Chains A and B, each alone.
Chain A
Amino acid sequence: MKTIGYIIQKEFKQIFRNKGMLPIIFILPILQLVILANAATYEVKNIKFAYIDYDHTSSSRALIEKFNASTYFNVLTDFPSPEKASSAMLAGEVDVVLEIPNHFERNLLKEKTADLSITINAIDGAAAGVESGYVNQIVQSFNQDVKMTIMDTSKKAVQPVTIEGIPSFWYNITLNYKTFMVPGILVLLVTMITLFLSGMNIVREKEIGTLEQINVTPIRKSQFIIGKLFPFWIIGMGLLTIGLILAKVIFNVPMVGSLLLLYAYTSIYILVILGMGLLISNFTDTQQQAMFIAWFFVVIFILMSGLFTPIESMPRWAQIVTEFNPIKYFVEIVRMVLLKGSGLMDILPQLWKTLLYAIIMNGLAVWSYKKVN
């Protein structure tokens, strides 16, 4: 026990003496949280919108006015020809081009139908889908207006019955993306910092030769590893605390559930990450190698965590792979506990899996750490 104390003491001294690392540990995560939470949003806004109006009637102008009034569209310009519009889209100046054909108003009035042509830059498919939805909404609402005017002028037709669903949004009533993203990004930074720090720490001692010096002492493997990892466990918990405070103060993220439960889960989760870091440093010889391997796993884990894209829409095999992703569980838990107020019983499945993961990871790490080659 005393031996572990000496190692912990030494590690903390080294961490706080390293003027290059300190800002990386504490300042970068804060910047990350503030910047990412504002930038990582699925909301599509400020769509660059342009139109080609061949009709030049009050109807066509009314339609364009509808787009103008929308907060989602920035109506930039009108193009005289499709060629001009097409080259502007190539140059990335516009995202959506609406083409109103000749006789648009006349067809509407006489034949009760008219066609519009909409071109959307669909390189980002998700955004294009959203944009198409917005365009349709506006055209629908224009339709309603037209119906009214047509019906007024023509015979009183029977108004068609429309069925409308009124959704009620639970847990995140205002559909605020930050409420959804901030807890997830919190997971990301706790994970990244602890994984990188622990992954590089032991490898660094290998590089400078002090690990060999440690290996010729009678210290036990478990003492050394506990002493090494404990400081990073503390740092991970500290990062969670800083992140939660920022989430509350800056983003006003609701914290419905028990913070104690969240801390309890995180304390186990960090063990998984530290075990992983240690495992990486056991199988690498330089900090560079360790960094690359850590990055490789972090990128896969993040992309498959449900943080940015829902796991439910992944192919079946990918969903099975995510079962082995610790970040997935943490993202789920942090959202469940903070936003839904889930209790211990609700998160029990994830808790067990994480605990099992922690035991396996650290078991492997201790087993693969060799004092004798």
Chain B
Amino acid sequence: MKVENVIEVIELTKTFGDFTAVNAISFEVKKGEIFGFLGANGAGKTTAMKMLIGISKPSSGTAKVAGFDVFSQTESIKKNIGYMSQKFALYDDLTVKENITFFGGIYGLTRKKIKEKREQLVSELGLENISNKLVGSLPLGWKQKLSFSVSLLHEPKIVFLDEPTGGVDPITRRQFWEMIYKAADQGTTIFVTTHYMDEAEYCDRVSIMVEGKIEALDTPKKLKEQFKVDSMNQVFLKLARNIE
């Protein structure tokens, strides 16, 4: 049985003046897959992701996300994806519940559905006691988990996570990945960028971007075999060094 592709990218490029941030990248992501999008700082991960979520216009190439074109159908894409940016982007001056209500509201969920989701989410995250507290007063780890849950509110087909675990302690990172697995089990495709190579091992497939190009793309196991090393960390270092 052939699994459908939810993301198809062909020769996607983004230039800023003379600088090519993303240089003709091509890849597919399958439905329900956890796809790791790796690369050093400034390799072009975030720029590539922004093109896929429809907030940055590609310079050339083609890409389809959830079956919609990134040039002409960005608003349809947005209905079908969730996004969690590397910068915490919920409202610090609203409470946990108010944030959930607001984002549910602008995704067009019904009042009933919002209420349902709100209760479900608060109990799943164990936030019952602080659901009426301002989000700004929560520890970072909790904020990130809340942020991820909010990006799943409207039950998107694909969720894009841009360095979701930056600055978070190992225990919370573990819990975070458990949440990611749960979402993937329910059929949500996960597109995640990260710096942590141990997290790369959790992904079904990873791509490694170096200076705007995808230099490697496969399952973590095959990549390690290909580069004859025994951790993703070494794969990454080998790739990055070769280029330099």
Interface residues in chain A, defined as those with a beta carbon under 8 Å from any beta carbon in chain B:
2-3, 5-7, 9-10, 13-14, 17-18, 208-210, 212-219, 371-373
Interface of A is mostly: helix
B75 within 8 A of A: yes
Residues of A within 8 A of B85 (CB): 209, 212-213
- Would you give the shortest CB distance from B182 to chain A, in whole angstroms? 22
Q: What's the Cα separation between A18 and B74 when bound, in Å?
A: 34
B106 touches A372 (CB 8 A): no
Q: What's the Cα separation between A63 and B229 when bound, in Å?
A: 108
Chain A, residue nearest B99 (CB): A10
Q: Which of B69-93 contact A (CB under 8 A)?
A: 74-76, 78-79, 81, 83, 85, 87-93
A216 touches B78 (CB 8 A): yes
A13 touches B98 (CB 8 A): yes
Beyond A2-B105, A6-B106, is A213–B93 a contact (Cβ under 8 Å)? Answer: no
B103 within 8 A of A: yes
Beyond A3-B106, A371-B55, is A218–B75 a contact (Cβ under 8 Å)? Answer: yes
Q: List 29 A-B contacts (CB under 8 A).
A: A2-B105, A3-B108, A6-B101, A6-B105, A7-B105, A7-B106, A10-B98, A10-B102, A14-B93, A17-B93, A208-B87, A208-B92, A209-B87, A210-B91, A214-B106, A215-B55, A216-B53, A216-B54, A217-B106, A218-B75, A218-B107, A219-B106, A371-B54, A371-B74, A372-B55, A372-B56, A372-B74, A373-B55, A373-B57
Q: What's the Cα separation between A209 and B90 when bound, in Å?
A: 8
A217 touches B107 (CB 8 A): yes
Q: What's the Cα separation between A219 and B79 when bound, in Å?
A: 9
Beyond A3-B105, A3-B108, is A18–B93 a contact (Cβ under 8 Å)? Answer: yes
B88 touches A209 (CB 8 A): yes
| Among B76, B105, B106: residue with most chain A CB under 10 A | B106
Residues of A within 8 A of B91 (CB): 10, 14, 210
| Among B79, B87, B89: residue with most chain A CB under 10 A | B89
Given contacts A13-B93, A209-B88, A372-B54, 20 further A-B contacts (CB under 8 A): A3-B106, A5-B105, A6-B101, A9-B102, A10-B91, A10-B94, A10-B98, A14-B94, A208-B89, A209-B87, A209-B89, A210-B89, A215-B55, A217-B103, A217-B106, A219-B106, A371-B54, A371-B74, A372-B55, A373-B57
Q: Mark B144-179, 1 if CB is under 8 A from A, else 0.
A: 000000000000000000000000000000000000
Q: What's the Cα separation between A216 and B105 when bound, in Å?
A: 14
Q: What's the Cα separation between A210 and B102 when bound, in Å?
A: 12
Q: Which of B188-204 contact A (CB under 8 A)?
A: none
Beyond A2-B105, A3-B105, A371-B55, is A216–B83 a contact (Cβ under 8 Å)? Answer: yes
Residues of B within 8 A of A214 (CB): 106
Q: What's the Cα separation between A217 and B82 when bound, in Å?
A: 8
Q: What's the Cα separation between A13 and B85 when bound, in Å?
A: 24
- Would you give the shortest CB distance from B49 to chain A, in whole angstroms? 10
The 9 closest A-B pairs by CB, nearest first: A6-B105, A213-B89, A209-B87, A216-B83, A218-B78, A218-B79, A209-B89, A10-B102, A219-B106
Q: What's the Cα separation between A157 and B93 when bound, in Å?
A: 87
A13 touches B94 (CB 8 A): yes
Say which size band chain B's interface belongs to.
20 to 34
Q: What's the Cα separation between A55 and B53 when bound, in Å?
A: 92
Chain A, residue nearest B83 (CB): A216
Residues of B within 8 A of A10 (CB): 91, 94, 98, 102
Beyond A13-B98, A218-B79, is A212–B89 a contact (Cβ under 8 Å)? Answer: yes
Residues of B within 8 A of A209 (CB): 85, 87-89
Beyond A208-B92, A209-B85, A217-B107, is A6–B102 a contact (Cβ under 8 Å)? Answer: yes
| Among A214, A216, A217, A371: residue with most chain B CB under 10 A | A216
Instruction: Say which residue of B55, B81, B102 sits within 8 Å of A212 (CB atoms).
Output: B55
Residues of A within 8 A of B102 (CB): 6-7, 9-10
Instruction: Say which residue of B55, B93, B101 sits within 8 Å of A216 (CB atoms).
Output: B55
Chain B, residue nearest A223 (CB): B106
B89 touches A217 (CB 8 A): no
Residues of A within 8 A of B93 (CB): 13-14, 17-18
Chain A, residue nearest B53 (CB): A216
Q: What's the Cα separation between A9 and B81 when bound, in Å?
A: 25
Residues of B within 8 A of A9 (CB): 102
A216 touches B81 (CB 8 A): yes
Q: What's the Cα separation between A73 and B192 when bound, in Å?
A: 79
- Would you give the shortest CB distance from A94 to chain B, in whole angstroms? 56
Residues of B within 8 A of A13 (CB): 93-94, 98
- Would you give the shortest CB distance from B232 to chain A, in whole angstroms? 28
A373 touches B56 (CB 8 A): yes
Residues of A within 8 A of B74 (CB): 371-372
- Would you give the shortest CB distance from B96 to chain A, in whole angstroms? 13
Chain A, residue nearest B107 (CB): A217
- Would you give the shortest CB distance from A1 to chain B, in whole angstroms? 11
Chain B, residue nearest A371 (CB): B55
Q: What's the Cα separation between A210 and B108 when bound, in Å?
A: 18
Q: What's the Cα separation between A209 and B79 when bound, in Å?
A: 20
Residues of B within 8 A of A18 (CB): 93
Chain B, residue nearest A7 (CB): B106
